Amino acid sequence: MSSSRTFEDKQPQRRASSGFEFLKGVGQVTGGTLLSITMLASSIVAGGLVGLAVSFRNLPDVRQLRNFFPSETTYIYDVKGKLLTSIHGEANREVASLDRISPNLKRAVLASEDSHFYDHHGINPVGVGRAVVVNWAAGGVKEGGSTVTMQLVKNLFLTRKRAFTRKIAEGVLAIRLEQILSKDQILEMYLNQVYWGHNNYGVQTAARSYFNKSAEYLNLGESAMMAGLIQAPEEFSPFVSMKLAKQKQKEVLGRMLELNWINQQEYDNALKQEIKLGKIKSFQGSALPYVTNAVAQELAKKFGRDALLKGGMRVQTTVDAEFQQMAEQTVSKWHKSLLGQGLSKNQIALVAIDPRTHFIKALVGGVDSKTSEFNRATQAQRQPGSAFKPFVYYTAFATGKFAPDTTVVDAPVSYRDGDGWYYPKNYDGGFSGSMSIRQALSVSRNIPVIKIGKSVGMNKVIEACRTLGIMSPMEPVTSLPLGAIGVTPLEMASAYATFANYGWQSPPTVIVRVTDSSGNVLLDNTPKPQLVLDPWASAAIIDVMRTVMTNGTGKGAAIGRPAAGKTGTTSSEKDIWFVGTVPQLTTAVWVGRDDNKQLASGATGGGMVAPVWRDFMQKALKDVPAENFKPPSKFPRPKPN
């Protein structure tokens, strides 16, 4: 956090002690007597502190500050660099190097807090002596006499209790600190450590909050106003009282003029400069809470919550803010539409993933993040119903024993299941006889998929699901192929995306890259795809799901370009789905109620969710060229095993 540059105005023209007008008229002490007392007190204090520096061996070791990193705010951006939110604990701080801080601000702070900063060695004997006299005359603590170095060690190591012993400790630590750090390093650390009010720690966050600009570009008027905040930030804050803030600004400018650090023209111009206030930014809400909350959870899991709140990470997400807002608006629109269709209290979750990278492009966890930030896209485990069937058929295709044209009989069947018998039924209660797997999936028949699942083995189906990233509890029961498990929309979208990428998979993520505040890369999620599924079987299930959208239950999702997908409806009509994909984008849409009650009699994924998917995909793909999927014939078919 140090800077090799030298403070620009280390030796400004100034009058030595004539600037300290505070001493005039204190009590009944005459000027000559006051000077004598001040010199005597200065000598005693200076000599005493040097001696104490040897004896105070139980004080903190200031050498650790060589590697000190203050807590910093974490910033989360969209894929194009738009700030979405900031995350921090108590301290909202963004560290700025000394050469990126306005010279105006550095001069103003030193004029106000420690005009002899570049001359002393941690303590200013004249200042301490003056404080002794002022406090003696006042009968209490009125002036501290602290240098910038003393204030820094107080903030870092000591309590804020005003006591003589603490003041001695400040002096001792200040002397030690000046022996191991340069003046510029100390000033940089101080400016980044000091509290500026409204939860802003350090000059950068304060400048952005008060004036909506970087600390590098503060003019003289703004700098003087900021310097005036240090002693009582909330009292003199321009957000609280512009009158008091201007009063302190004038005092700081007057001190700078007195020291000859600015001239009369600069003083006059600074007082006239218009102050354009920013806004208080600490603990503000997120622009896209479903996205940023998911990011925060991923960061906390990877780095720990302490690093998230204090580590000053810079996070680039995979999401375009405008694209996400379009997705949220689509969900809100269809929520109202479905209410009109009798689906009271409906919630909707939507996840869109690029199957080529497994980057999440949209993540909508509910109909309104302002009323509920519970992220149903990543946290709600709901039954997928028939949207689970492609996993069973993929497993069959991967054995090499089945193909889309394999015949299966849709007829009554019964299975011993635990202590009783299980009699599976189709949604319409009837049976259709012999049909191909393609047709069975197209019209979403239940009996055929159970037969295929039993044939290949339910444990193999579970194994395929685990490979696809579905981690919910699963038992190899007869009803498994009908989706009698809990999954999240994110799991469903990611699994279908792996099919769409012909078996190649990267971990789904909402984060592209994470760096620290200095630009060092902490996490790089550049896709590193691995082939986890059989390519022919993946292409085959995509090919079959294309039929779902052209001739089956998913016709309501047709978008006028090659697409594959599957409807999902649970027998109790509590969860309805549509999950579908084009080569460039995979999207899962779920509709249900938080209380897990029936949506409405006759509610189906094909009738009520497919139109939501279609509407979103048409908007999402507006400027994206249509692409064809690769046919299964492009890949070698697995040998039967």
Q: What is the pLDDT of residue 390?
A: 98
User: Which residues have a Cβ under 8 Å from the Cβ of 168 and sit 6 or more positions away?
Assistant: 48, 49, 52, 56
pTM strictly above 0.85: no
Residues in the chain: 641
Q: What is the structure's pLDDT at 454?
A: 96
Q: Where in the chain is the domain with CATH 1.10.3810.10?
A: 21-68+92-272
Give the pLDDT score at 317. Answer: 98
Catalytic, 475? Answer: no
> Would you state the structure tokens that stand for residue 13, as one six-digit string?
């023209």
- 498 vs 35, which has greater pLDDT? 498
pLDDT of residue 273: 92
> What does each C-alpha distance from 493 to 52, 330, 589 come to in angstroms?
67, 18, 9
The yes-or-no verdict on residue 524 having pLDDT over 50 is yes
DSSP assignments along 497-522, one per residue: HHHHTTTEE---BSEEEEE-TT--EE
Close Cβ partners of 420 (under 8 Å, ≥ 6 residues apart):
none
pLDDT greater than 60 at residue 41: no
Instruction: Tell me, yes or no, if 386 is annotated catalytic.
Output: yes
pLDDT in tens, 143-201: 456 898 888 878 776 555 554 556 677 777 788 878 888 899 889 989 988 888 887 88
Q: Identify the band that residue 76 occupies on the pLDDT scale cut at 50, 70 and 90.
A: very high
Asked whether the predicted pLDDT for residue 232 surpasses 90, the reply is no
340 vs 274: CA distance, rounded Å: 53
Between 137 and 103, whose confidence is greater? 103
- Residues whose CB falls within 8 Å of the CB of residue 292, separated by 6 or more in sequence, listed in order: 76, 84, 85, 87, 286, 317
Pairing relationship of beta strands 314-317 and 200-201 according to DSSP bridges:
unpaired
Residues forming a β-bridge with 530: 505
Alpha-carbon gap, residue 469 to 464, rounded angstroms:
9
Banded model confidence at residue 142, pLDDT cuts 50, 70, 90: very low
Portion of the chain with pLDDT greater than 70, in percent: 83
For 471-492, the pLDDT digits (tens) are 988 999 999 999 989 999 999 9
Q: What is the pLDDT of residue 19?
A: 30
Q: Is the dihedral of CA 323, 328, 333, 334 positive or negative?
A: positive
Q: Which CATH class is domain 21-68+92-272?
A: mainly alpha
Of 6-10, 412-416, 423-427, 598-602, which gets the smallest average pLDDT?
6-10
Where does CATH 3.40.710.10 sit in the chain? Answer: 325-634
The yes-or-no verdict on residue 467 having pLDDT over 90 is yes
Contacts of 507 (CB under 8 A, 6+ apart): 358, 469, 525
Q: Rounded mean pLDDT of 324-337? A: 97
Confidence of residue 392 (pLDDT cuts 50, 70, 90): very high
pLDDT of residue 195: 84
Q: What is the pLDDT of residue 133?
A: 61
Q: Which residues contact 134 (CB under 8 A, 6 or more apart)?
A: 22, 23, 26, 142, 143
Give the whole-angstrom CA distance, residue 324 versus residue 451: 41
pLDDT(305) > 90: no
pLDDT tens-digit series, residues 591-632: 999 999 999 999 999 999 999 999 999 999 999 999 999 999
Q: Given pLDDT bands bounded at 50, 70 and 90, which one contains residue 132?
A: low
Question: pLDDT tens-digit profile of 415-424?
Answer: 987 778 889 9
* pLDDT > 90: percent of the chain: 63
Task: Give 437-463 pLDDT, tens digit per residue.
Answer: 999 999 999 999 999 999 999 999 999
325-634: CATH topology is Beta-lactamase (3.40.710)
pLDDT of residue 364: 97
pLDDT in tens, 241-293: 999 999 999 999 999 999 999 999 999 999 999 999 988 766 666 889 999 98
Angle of helix 164-180 versus helix 183-193 axis, rounded to 10: 130
- Maximum average pLDDT range among 30-34, 64-68, 534-538: 534-538
Type and span of the H or E element at 10? none
Determine which one of 42, 94, 112, 113 is catalytic.
Answer: 113
Task: Catalytic residue, from 86, 112, 369, 386: name it.
Answer: 386
Tell me what the pLDDT averaged over the chain comes to.
86
